[in-house]
Structure 1
């Protein structure tokens, strides 16, 4: 057997504004995103109508694809961890040790992954499923009743559990493997070299990286869209008026103020790099998360949350095989049970799987960047199980407190009737205001600060990752002007889509953008399995498989 491919030259500009960048990838990506921004801002009604039509088509024709492809990713990840040949391989040289401590590794992974989602959905989603889910639609359980609590948690854990993190692990593992064991550039195309070889140096590789950049911007825009609305709700709660309407939705002024604050801070953090700004912000928001979560565990529904956590995990694992492959098919009759089930699946599982897939190039490349020196087994189990459990803890105690307050009748609909982004603020105010109004205000301030650190971490990580892809794996200082561009572009995408159609417009654009990248991710799985299998054969006959030598580092990644 021959040694594996260890060189993938990607043409980059030598000088000028695009010096060090792949002009084809960078310019085309910027054009696509710029057209989307102009379209959403200048013709908002037209954009909303077209995006809605596309979304309907995708949900009608590709719902099964999204459901089954995520099930495939879970199987691949668990299979690689259990595979004796693959699980023991290091993401780097055999002597390499991890760059970051476990605490920093988990903090950055959780913060950049879906940490910000916890502040919206840990309370909002269990309440939403407590009100409606497939069991309610089929008449097996009753909305807002005790018999529906377990079903609410099965669906909440499904959406934020192993499936979400399998998407990230597939992308991260593929990138880390080919970058740190092969010495290939830390960019999406490198993960497909066992399938397409040196052809990835040309237009095929450019196309794959462009798809990844567009998916990343749209996936992060979805997260920031939810975050901006919640950030505005928080600012309103702490006494800053004029940023939200009576129904809790953000005004145009509120959107602009929130984006200026968040994207300004994230751009400054991105300029400082992964080892400084992002690492410190991740550690800060992990500490604040523990403080907030501790409040819910100690002063919230302590026993109810513990029951939801342990029983919820059991129910989730039992239901996982069936739910991973189940697809509800509409009969086309509006109002029928089949129609409602298919519609619900489009609103929840399909939306989430598209979100995680769109988020995967960003989180995956970021995970690869911080996971050098870890084994494949350590990476897969660390990137799937630990963050999933953290999500379950949040849903059990934060969401469990909300469900318990509504179930007992104490909240009287205060939490249930609040906007999704405002639910956590409504709940903490309901709990603390009777004791002392300043306590409720202080807790709202803590949540706003925590939300901002999560949003900044997600946004600045995304900007760095997009630049790394555009620069053929290089994240050196010459990327600084482009960091500023992508920071502004991300803010405009979020602002433009929010103004043209709210978070629904961002959701639709993201579901569309995720579709082509889902195909790339399937190819990444096949490519990785092929590479590990061939490395095992090479080891048996004494052929070198780790082709990144002692001094050979992927482009743009400094040696420790």
Structure 2
């Protein structure tokens, strides 16, 4: 006789029948809407107070939870790699044992890359290497010279840290848990299902509702961060193609710029979401994939080709060698302003802690998408594919786009035009330096292309986020949602971005996101532990012949089968 029971394959979540909230769990949807609405009203009508309070919270978190964020992401990397190596876990399928992947490897890799980055590449593939070329921990410690030739590879080492294994481990943990418990267990495709090995059927009640509300808020704030950077870059791009009044003399986006950019972006994204996944999002995704390939090819062929190759190869090697230390080192300030210790702690809070919070907040969004496109994959395939291939694609963008910017400045071609531009404007400044001497029309045309590409990324990010939030609110049901709910989350997302940008710029969104990601980081740690427990117990079950998938357990039902899948960004 076995002393271990079959896994839980039934987690009822009460949803409303009929009326305005038909098909939704009001215990999740209503509290999430109330909390986000309060944040919107607070940021818009009391901008000074909200900015001060958010900054106070941010300082508290950086002083007390920076180490938590650093160690949590290090844990996710270790867990993911451990699952891939672990024989019992690595061979298990994210689905039934006889299922095979729906998508070929090329399509799978392409969709994963589109899901996790998009807007970030257009802003940070140029801006981040440039920042770290000027200053990074090696410069602060006196080991390299800011803006010197000896600091180029350090710039890439730190850039790759934030867009490499750590980022994709956050996504992989969320995606693994959602796919495992939905497609092997037959549980609802929502965050609470991933914690059933720890809390069982208690997740049908208040505990499960709280977990899903936390996931919804983290998703909204994580996507708001992406849109906040995108709005600034969109306004900079419109200014480059001749539309005035959207940025000030220093290149910062004006209130008018914020409003116009958001009206365009959120209006288009809401219309796209209303048209459904198979129409609007798919059409836009095809456009941004083609334009992305064109832009990257331009940098590869006409940018700093050999400089970028060195940044890719030598920088990648330096990153891999330094990864264990970079992932685990926590710097604490000594209370002395301007000291090396305080500078290191400040740098880590502004960069690494911010990024780890961003990826954690983004994890429900990207994780749910990764789960949908990975059914039938083994855990080993998923981990290695989701962590390594998209990270390498990020590195290619950073090497040739950012490398071109650094090379132009090092050789005094740009004469400070790229270094002096705002974050969002750096890619426009770089293409202007490259093309203006050849043809002003070509330069204008490239700026227009980047604006269109940015627009498609922003729209697909926003409308995918709205659809995913509604999936969580509807207890994992991915079916069509009522228009008022799509409209509410579209307006709410735009209002969050507008309110926080106006009250404190992107730093206010960054602060709100770091705060919102904190409770979800706890949920993600529990998800990782839950997955390890589930795999360990499934290994025990298999040895004694106890069923491990929903199709082998009497009374279990097939989970909802998702509709057409397209990249989320």
Q: TM-score, normalised by structure 2?
A: 0.96
Matched residue, 2:267: 264
Given that 1:108 and 1:278 are in contact with CA atoms closer than 8 Å, whether structure 2 keeps it comes out as: no
Query: Equivalences for 1:365-514 in 2 at 5 Å?
Result: 365-514=368-517
Matched residue, 1:225: 228
Structure 1: how far apart are the matches of 2:43 and 2:400?
Answer: 39
Q: Over residues 312-353 of structure 1, what are the superposed CA-to-partner deviations in whole Å (9 max), with x where a residue is unaligned?
A: 110000000011110111001111111111111111000000
Structure 1: how far apart are the matches of 2:526 and 2:551?
Answer: 23
Q: Does 1:147 align with 2:166?
A: no
TM superposition shift of 1:149: 0.6
TM superposition shift of 1:279: 3.6
Structure 2: how far apart are the matches of 1:378 and 1:211?
Answer: 29
Q: Does 1:64 align with 2:73?
A: no
Given that 1:175 and 1:365 are in contact with CA atoms closer than 8 Å, whether structure 2 keeps it comes out as: yes
Higher mean C-alpha deviation, range 120-129 or range 374-383: 374-383
Q: Over residues 409-430 of structure 1, what are the superposed CA-to-partner deviations in whole Å (9 max), with x where a residue is unaligned?
A: 2211000000000000000001
Matched residue, 2:540: 537
Q: Over residues 346-373 of structure 1, what are the superposed CA-to-partner deviations in whole Å (9 max), with x where a residue is unaligned?
A: 1100000010011111111121122222
Structure 2: how far apart are the matches of 1:466 and 1:522?
Answer: 21
Matched residue, 2:114: 111
SS at match of 2:437: coil
Structure 2: how far apart are the matches of 1:215 and 1:548?
Answer: 33
Structure 2: how far apart are the matches of 1:3 and 1:479?
Answer: 37
Higher mean C-alpha deviation, range 364-373 or range 215-224: 364-373
Structure 2: how far apart are the matches of 1:266 and 1:86?
Answer: 39
TM superposition shift of 1:105: 3.0
Q: Over residues 22-62 of structure 1, what are the superposed CA-to-partner deviations in whole Å (9 max), with x where a residue is unaligned?
A: 11110000000000000000000000000001000000001
Query: Do the aligned partners of residues 556 and 214 (structure 1) sit closer, same or farther apart at CA in structure 2, a change above 3 Å counting?
Result: farther
Q: Over residues 104-155 of structure 1, what are the superposed CA-to-partner deviations in whole Å (9 max), with x where a residue is unaligned?
A: 4333322231221000000000000000111111111111100011111110
Matched residue, 1:185: 188
Given that 2:470 and 2:481 are in contact with CA atoms closer than 8 Å, whether structure 1 keeps it comes out as: no
Q: Over residues 141-192 of structure 1, what are the superposed CA-to-partner deviations in whole Å (9 max), with x where a residue is unaligned?
A: 1111000111111100000001000000000100010000111000000000
SS at match of 1:144: coil
Q: TM-score, normalised by structure 1?
A: 0.97
Given that 1:104 and 1:282 are in contact with CA atoms closer than 8 Å, whether structure 2 keeps it comes out as: no
Structure 2: how far apart are the matches of 1:138 and 1:506?
Answer: 30
Higher mean C-alpha deviation, range 425-434 or range 135-144: 135-144
Given that 2:278 and 2:564 are in contact with CA atoms closer than 8 Å, whether structure 1 keeps it comes out as: no
Query: Do the aligned partners of residues 160 and 354 (structure 1) sit closer, same or farther apart at CA in structure 2, a change above 3 Å counting?
Result: same
Matched residue, 1:554: 559
Query: Equivalences for 1:5-20 in 2 at 5 Å?
Result: 5-20=8-23
Q: Over residues 281-334 of structure 1, what are the superposed CA-to-partner deviations in whole Å (9 max), with x where a residue is unaligned?
A: 333322211111111111110000000000011000000001111011100111
TM superposition shift of 1:101: 4.1
TM superposition shift of 1:278: 2.9
TM superposition shift of 1:96: 2.5
Structure 1: how far apart are the matches of 2:100 and 2:419?
Answer: 48
Equivalences, count: 560
Structure 2: how far apart are the matches of 1:13 and 1:549?
Answer: 30
Query: Equivalences for 1:24-423 in 2 at 5 Å?
Result: 24-423=27-426
TM superposition shift of 1:250: 1.4
SS at match of 1:331: coil
TM superposition shift of 1:276: 4.1
Moved over 4 A (4+): 548-551
Given that 1:21 and 1:470 are in contact with CA atoms closer than 8 Å, whether structure 2 keeps it comes out as: yes
Structure 1: how far apart are the matches of 2:558 and 2:286?
Answer: 27
Given that 1:167 and 1:357 are in contact with CA atoms closer than 8 Å, whether structure 2 keeps it comes out as: yes
TM superposition shift of 1:275: 4.2
Query: Do the aligned partners of residues 75 and 273 (structure 1) sit closer, same or farther apart at CA in structure 2, a change above 3 Å counting?
Result: farther
Higher mean C-alpha deviation, range 377-386 or range 154-163: 377-386
Q: Over residues 466-501 of structure 1, what are the superposed CA-to-partner deviations in whole Å (9 max), with x where a residue is unaligned?
A: 001100001222343211111111000001100111
Structure 2: how far apart are the matches of 1:548 and 1:357?
Answer: 32
Structure 2: how far apart are the matches of 1:94 and 1:260?
Answer: 47
Structure 2: how far apart are the matches of 1:478 and 1:469?
Answer: 12
Structure 2: how far apart are the matches of 1:65 and 1:258?
Answer: 36
Q: Does 1:519 align with 2:522?
A: yes
Query: Do the aligned partners of residues 365 and 244 (structure 1) sit closer, same or farther apart at CA in structure 2, a change above 3 Å counting?
Result: same
Structure 1: how far apart are the matches of 2:117 and 2:209?
Answer: 28
Query: Do the aligned partners of residues 270 and 103 (structure 1) sit closer, same or farther apart at CA in structure 2, a change above 3 Å counting?
Result: farther
Higher mean C-alpha deviation, range 470-479 or range 349-358: 470-479
TM superposition shift of 1:546: 1.0
